[in-house]
Amino acid sequence: MKRKTDLTSVGHVTEETEFFTPMPAGYEPGKTKYVVVFGTVMSGLGKGIFSSSLAKVLQDKGLTVAPIKLEGYFNRDSGTLNPFRHGEVYVLDDGMECDMDLGTYERMLDQNLSHLNFTTSGQIFSSVLDKEREGKYLGRDVQMIPHVTGEVKLRLRELAVATQANVVFVEIGGTVGDVENAYYIEAVREMSFEEGPSNFAFVALTYIVVPQVLGEQKSKPAQLNLKLLNAAGIHPHIIACRASAPVSKKVREKIALFANVPMDHVFSMHDCDSVYVIPEMLRGAGIDAVVMNQLNLTERTDVASEEAARATWSAYITRFREAKHPITVGIIGKYTSVRDSYASIIQALEHAGASLDAKVRLDWIDSSDLTDENVVERLEHLHGVIVPGGFGLRGVDGKIACVKHVRENRVPYLGLCYGMQIAVIEYARNVCGLTDATSTEIEPDTPYPVIDLLPEQKKIEGLGGNMRLGGFDVQLSPDTMIAEVCGGADRIRLRFRHRYEVNPDYIETFESKGLVFSGRSPDYPIMQVMELPKKAHPFFMATQAHPEFTSRPLHPQPMFVGLVRAALQFSGVSIDDRGEQDPIATEPTCSAGPAPASM
């Protein structure tokens, strides 16, 4: 997506000096604190989870925080990335297609983010090249240092100005030592110097290996990789050691010794049952105190706010851990071999489960293996089914067989984006009698194009950033299931990422056959939520949106709550058997929250 700012900057850009430090208007050096999280040894350590947990701990203390993820790749956004390789493409309210870590930040911080919270090398370099054409570099040869690093520093400071955050959390993608991320590390090194002491805290996340033959924790890869960070001019203030089991004192001592970091700044960050446990784990280890001290923020702690936030959060964790009623929800998709492709759905089910005392077990079913013949046997143990978003042909027949099964057998169903399109196709074929009806994405010459390109998509060429993206309002019809699960709301906001939609030419046919389009765009004839009436099915709902992107631990998304409630009933649990609701009972959210900061 196009940045809305023209990056107006002032000061420190002259022909005379070697420094190139563009400052956004209104920036006051030293006012904002920065925490930078680096990954060492390998990727996939959960840097985003760590960084967002640390940000939450500071947020709980009454500080305002703003995260930013710096990606090394040249794609301008994550929209063109294959979820098999990179995990889910997460969509922000302003339409930014970004890394799944932004979802972790939004959920952990209960905060809506924008394009300002996400940068890639593609964005940084295209901006530098544009500025070069505009003559903004005053005749200088444009270099990695200071111009490209200057652009990175500008992004961080722009975020500080736009959000007025007390602390900006910078997560540098990839691993220290990667060529593609080296300039980000250089940029924060320069910037920590410019901003002065006590304004930066550097945190290195490292990994403790346990070779199978030895069965013991070894710190050498961590030691060597931390040296790479030193070689880049960064001396970490804190080292967090990822491992499956708690990291032994001996190993932490070795790391402290080799990295010149005091022992009480080296922490174990081992695996746990929910990401939401990590803020408390960090607090328990004392990482928050070290960061607050390093940033000279200790005086700023609002103890009452911290206690209240901790109580609310730990009530959520208790509900999640102690949920009594097991249910199994099947996720019928194409990327089922890579769980990261469905990260937000997993989270949304966890939130909804915790709010209803349900322990949601997930069963991943590859739709390519499903047929009309085996669908009963493969799905009969499920209490609820989700067909998630997807693209292209593969596995479509299996998804249609699945939807037919759940519709006819009254199994609770939630269709997400492609899952709604599949439900429409199934209804067209099996209820409306439109043989071979399908989407033009699947078969351009279909006799019944019940799902077709959005009018604005027909003119577009190329693949990047051109879907219908971001948050849009959805007008709900009264007395429908969606209105009911949303507490009687008549308008909600959901996030979208699609090119195709229900073909308006077929709406009347569908409605005459009992399908209800219960959520529509207020401005265009775009069907955004569909359902079957209660008398036909206890819970059959699908949406063109991605409601999983707006579910938060303390505000579970109502469609997921509806699915889990129906699944509990389907499993034989009467909703009244679930005992007392927790006093902090999580309140479903019908909106994507307040508008994010923008420039």
Please report how close the Cβ of residue 563 comes to ligand GLN at its closest, in angstroms.
17
**Which tokens go with 245?**
């089991």
Please report how close the Cβ of residue 344 comes to ligand GLN at its closest, in angstroms.
12
Please, which of residues 500-519 interact with ligand GLN by CB under 6 A?
Answer: 500
Q: Does 499 bind ligand GLN (CB under 6 A)?
A: yes
**Given the residues 417, 432, 486, 590, the one annotated as active site:** 417
DSSP run (H or E) holding 35 = strand 33-39
**Which tokens go with 301?**
């702690």
DSSP H stretches of helix in 61-148 = 83-86, 101-109, 121-133
**Binding residue for ligand GLN (CB under 6 A) from 22, 83, 146, 390?**
390
Output the DSSP codes for 559-577.
HHHHHHHHHHHHTT--GGG
**Binding residue for ligand GLN (CB under 6 A) from 66, 291, 358, 417?**
417
Q: Does 441 bind ligand GLN (CB under 6 A)?
A: yes
Q: Does 399 bind ligand GLN (CB under 6 A)?
A: no
Q: Does 497 bind ligand GLN (CB under 6 A)?
A: yes
How many residues form the binding site for ligand GLN (CB under 6 A)?
10
> What is residue 290's three-state secondary structure?
helix
Crossing angle (nearest 10°) for helices 303-322 and 278-285? 130
The contact pattern for ligand GLN, residues 124-143, with x = CB under 6 A and - = no contact, is: --------------------
DSSP H stretches of helix in 260-367 = 278-285, 287-294, 303-322, 343-355
Q: Does 77 bind ligand GLN (CB under 6 A)?
A: no
Please report how close the Cβ of residue 417 comes to ligand GLN at its closest, in angstroms.
3
Q: Are 353 and 321 in contact (CB under 8 A)?
A: no
Please report how close the Cβ of residue 520 comes to ligand GLN at its closest, in angstroms.
16
What amino acid is encoded at 332 in this protein? Answer: I
Q: Does 391 bind ligand GLN (CB under 6 A)?
A: yes
Please report how close the Cβ of residue 499 comes to ligand GLN at its closest, in angstroms.
4
**Among positive and negative, which fits the CA dihedral 227, 232, 238, 239?**
negative
Output the DSSP codes for 391-403.
-SSTTHHHHHHHH
98 is catalytic: no
45 CA to centre of own chain: 16
CA distance 586 to 391: 33
432 is catalytic: no
In 3D space, the residue among 333, 208, 215, 185 whose CA is nearest the CA of residue 266 turns out to be 208
Please report how close the Cβ of residue 106 comes to ligand GLN at its closest, in angstroms.
18
| Widest CA span in the chain | 77
351 is catalytic: no
Q: Does 429 bind ligand GLN (CB under 6 A)?
A: no
Q: Does 84 bind ligand GLN (CB under 6 A)?
A: no
Q: Does 498 bind ligand GLN (CB under 6 A)?
A: yes
DSSP state of 525: S
Q: Does 47 bind ligand GLN (CB under 6 A)?
A: no
Q: Does 19 bind ligand GLN (CB under 6 A)?
A: no
CA distance 264 to 82: 41
With contacts defined by CB under 6 A, name the span among 214-222, 304-312, 341-349, 388-396 that binds ligand GLN.
Answer: 388-396
Enzyme catalytic residues: 417, 546, 548
Which residues contact ligand GLN by CB under 6 A? 389-391, 417-418, 441, 497-500
